[in-house]
Structure 1
């Protein structure tokens, strides 16, 4: 049994190295709750830990060769936090002082998405956005290249997918729970597209929707909006 467990750990580490990811920067201010257990990779004994701390512990056990940098704060509430986020995007790459290769947004609120979009537009940083809708059985991934494709301010995903304003308050009586399978599928699609983008193979859809009830995967390409509210997006388009 011990040999089998050790072999599993070796295979997990080899898989991590095979993906070529050398460094992960993780930003999140939330704490692990028991309600997260059904759909995220946290474990019950990690309840009350910050999500970035718990994630680092789990991921470091899977692949200790990856460099981790974690920050437990809200990027939307303090100017210094937003400025630090931008600094780490532009200087926190595997080689210190170099930008990251790709930013990923896996957040669940409009303000955080807008903050990430604003930072990436200003820095010219390529990023991918993803999320699962409140109906629990649909989701999306979206690739954004400043100046070349629509940014979050140009076309928020909920507006595209369901004609719903991202800023609409949660509706009374609607459960915001997510099916673990739907989240797993969306996360898998996101990671697959990350590898395709970084390794330059296959086709990465600029917008890919997932509907679990019909096994439906519509895709589309969205050009940036010349009248985008984000000045940096308009400037990136001109460049």
Structure 2
């Protein structure tokens, strides 16, 4: 029986992967710098789910080696292709779908939304979660627009230009602030990003900062997907002071994104329809010490009469104000007191010994 076209395509792809493996082994023998796998794969390797959809339009450059994911011999390949090659060698059981295009163009944006809606592990279902690891605000805004329109939950992350701080953020359309609710200065002021970047220089070139932020993002993803621990809505990282600010930002009712405002209304309706859970405050149990098997009894060493005698008059106070204690009158002291005497302490002690 002749194999189907799809089976032949799959076989060709398997052979291509085997060829890539052979080339990589040969490169490793020729150059010792290529003999080690990446020390840290920021996002993809740590998660390793059963299906990954990768979107990127850039190519691997030598300036990208600070990412600790790409390797020098991958220079010239598209980033999604290089990522698939590396990850497939690590875990061949993962299914990959790569798209080498710019999601901010109209045509590609439409296809991007289609794959979000129907590219899940279960055919025809949406993806479970979107992770954003892009380095420009235009791409973030495109992802934000798509997720607001589709009601898709996503996690955004980033490292600052100075490479010593970063953040992760969980965005739930309608419930939490979207990326347009509180945009960075570059977006709010409509600054051209091209004026902020230097040609041939890769921003955020400190790999340790990227590693920390990537680890925080992946940890948050695992907690969200596997439903354990506390999922962070926003978690920052300042490497200079080892400072980790965290907060939860609500959606902005005046957000510029129309779909964000629509999602906010939908969220309000769902919250209104949700049954309210009444919180019943349990009364504190009064512990009564009764007779026990050891014959121990708890009794007061002061009688009610003695307590009354040790208390003074309660002054008239405005409503709501009470006194912590009262001063007893001078003639109501409990028990006998020793009167004043001119005898010395030694004389008193000698007198007591004679008794």
Task: Tell whether the structures are fold-level matches, with TM greater than 0.5.
Answer: yes
Q: Secondary structure at 2:67's aligned position in 1?
A: coil
Deviations 1:135-170 (A, max 9, x none): 1100000000000000000023x45xx998584644
Deviation at 1:184, TM superposition (A): 0.6
Deviation at 1:171, TM superposition (A): 4.3
Check the 8 A contact 1:137/1:178 in 2, yes or no: no
Out of 35, 49, 54, which is 1:21 matched to?
A: 49
Out of 80, 86, 107, which is 1:80 matched to?
A: 107
Could you tell me how far apart the structure 2 residues matched to 1:166 and 1:185 are? 30
Counterpart for residue 149 of structure 2: 122
Deviation at 1:205, TM superposition (A): 1.3
Out of 140, 153, 158, which is 1:131 matched to?
A: 158
Check the 8 A contact 1:110/1:167 in 2, yes or no: no
Correspondence list, 1:113-192, <5 A: 113-156=140-183, 158=184, 167=191, 169=193, 170-171=195-196, 176-192=203-219
Counterpart for residue 4 of structure 1: none
Quick check: which one's strand share is greater? 1
Out of 93, 116, 119, which is 2:120 matched to?
A: 93
Counterpart for residue 205 of structure 1: 232
Name the TM-score, length of structure 1 as normaliser: 0.86
| 1:103 and 2:130 correspond | yes
Q: Secondary structure at 1:225's aligned position in 2?
A: coil
Counterpart for residue 31 of structure 1: 59
Report the CA distance shift for 1:164/1:133 in structure 2 as closer, same or farther (over 3 A).
farther
Out of 33, 45, 50, which is 2:73 matched to?
A: 45
Q: Secondary structure at 1:82's aligned position in 2?
A: helix
Q: Secondary structure at 2:145's aligned position in 1?
A: helix
Could you tell me how far apart the structure 2 residues matched to 1:95 and 1:172 are? 40
Could you tell me how far apart the structure 1 residues matched to 2:64 and 2:136 are? 17
Q: Flag as ranges the 4+ runs of structure 1 deviating above 4 A.
A: 16-20, 162-166, 170-173
Q: Which has the higher contact order (CA 8 A, sep 6+)?
A: 1
Moved more, 199-208 or 114-123: 199-208
- Alpha carbon RMSD of aligned pairs, Å? 2.5
Report the CA distance shift for 1:49/1:117 in structure 2 as closer, same or farther (over 3 A).
same
Unaligned runs of 5+ in 2: 1-36, 38-43, 267-355
Check the 8 A contact 2:169/2:232 in 1, yes or no: yes
Check the 8 A contact 2:253/2:264 in 1, yes or no: yes
Check the 8 A contact 2:46/2:218 in 1, yes or no: no
Unaligned runs of 5+ in 1: 1-8, 10-15
Out of 83, 92, 102, which is 1:55 matched to?
A: 83
Could you tell me how far apart the structure 1 residues matched to 2:143 and 2:239 are? 27
Could you tell me how far apart the structure 1 residues matched to 2:108 and 2:228 are? 35
Moved more, 201-210 or 44-53: 201-210
Could you tell me how far apart the structure 2 residues matched to 1:19 and 1:109 are? 23
How many corresponding residue pairs? 221
Name the TM-score, length of structure 2 as normaliser: 0.58
Deviation at 1:177, TM superposition (A): 3.8
Could you tell me how far apart the structure 1 residues matched to 2:46 and 2:77 are? 30
Check the 8 A contact 2:48/2:94 in 1, yes or no: no
Could you tell me how far apart the structure 2 residues matched to 1:25 and 1:202 are? 26
Could you tell me how far apart the structure 2 residues matched to 1:165 and 1:183 are? 27
Check the 8 A contact 2:159/2:204 in 1, yes or no: no
Counterpart for residue 96 of structure 2: 68
